[in-house]
Chain A
C-alpha cells in the first residue's frame, strides 16, 4: 500500500497543496506527541455537527445477523478513484469494497492519520477476514456482500449527511444487513 503519511505525495485524485500537506503533518505530530490537545481540538471543531441521530435497536440475535463494515480510513481498491484530499471541505463520497476482496488490492487515500499500521494489515481498519471467520463459526449469521469506505477529515459533512450516508444506508438495507460496525481512522 502507498503511504500518504510519508514524504511522497498522498494518494489523492487531485494534487494536494503543500500548505494542506503541512497542516496534515502538524495534525499527525499532535496525534503522536500531544494526543490530549488533539482530542480537545477535534471535539471543539466538530461539536457543531451534533444532531439527533436515529437509534435502531438490534432486532435479532447476533447469530442471525448479517453484518457489514463501514470505515472512514480512506481505504480504496486499486482500480478505484482515490478520494480528493485537495478540497478544503473534504471529500464526502464513498467507495464500495466487496466482501470477498483480496486485501492486497486495498490502498489508503488519506493523510490525516498515521497509516503505517493499516498499510501493514488492512484488517486493523477493515477486519473482513475476521468477520468471515465469525460467520463460519456461527457467531454471526452472514457477512454483507458490500462494505463501505469513506474518507475521514471532512470539515464540512453537509453532502455526506444529505446524500452519501443515506445512499450507503439504503444499500445496506437492500443487502438485508442487520448490523453495521463503523471503524474510524
Chain B
C-alpha cells in the first residue's frame, strides 16, 4: 500500500507500505508525468517483493529507504 499519512498507517498495523512524502491526492507521480508514475509504480512493486510484516519503506529526495 502507498501511504501519504505514515503515522496513521503505522498505528493501523498495515502489512507493508511505501511512504511518498507528498500532499494527499497524488499518491502516484504527477499529472501528465507518465514517466514519474511509472517510477512510483515500479517502486511499489519492488516494495511488495522486499518488505516484511508491518514494514514501511520511504521514497524521498529520489532515494528509496528500506527498514534495516
- Contact across chains for B13 and A117 when beta carbons are under 8 A apart: no
**Stretch in A44-52, A76-84, A162-170 with 4+ CB within 8 Å of B:** A44-52
Given A55-B53, A129-B34, A130-B37: A50 and B26 interface contact (C-beta under 8 Å): no
A125 on interface, CB distance cutoff 8 Å: yes
Asked if A127 contacts B37 (CB within 8 A), the reply is yes
Please classify how large the interface on chain A is, using the bins under 10, 10 to 19, 20 to 34, 35 or more.
35 or more
Could you tell me the distance between the alpha carbons of A123 and B35 in the complex, rounded to whole angstroms?
11
Q: Mark A120-160, 1 if CB is under 8 A from B, else 0.
A: 11011101011101100001100000000000000000000
Min CB gap B19→A, angstroms? 11
Q: Which residues of A contact B27 (CB under 8 A)?
A: 71, 73, 124-125, 183-185
Q: Would you give the 0/1 interface string for A35-77, flagging 1 where the beta carbon is closer than 8 Å to chain B?
A: 1000110110011011111111010001000010001010000
Give A182's nearest chain B residue, CB to CB. Answer: B1
Q: What are 30 A-B contacts defined by CB distance under 8 Å?
A: A31-B24, A35-B23, A39-B5, A43-B5, A46-B11, A47-B12, A50-B12, A53-B12, A55-B16, A55-B54, A56-B15, A62-B48, A73-B27, A115-B25, A117-B25, A118-B25, A118-B26, A118-B31, A123-B34, A124-B26, A124-B27, A124-B37, A127-B38, A134-B42, A179-B48, A181-B41, A181-B44, A183-B1, A185-B25, A185-B27
Give me the interface of A with B, judged by CB distance under 8 Å.
Answer: 31-32, 35, 39-40, 42-43, 46-47, 49-56, 58, 62, 67, 71, 73, 113-118, 120-121, 123-125, 127, 129-131, 133-134, 139-140, 179, 181-185
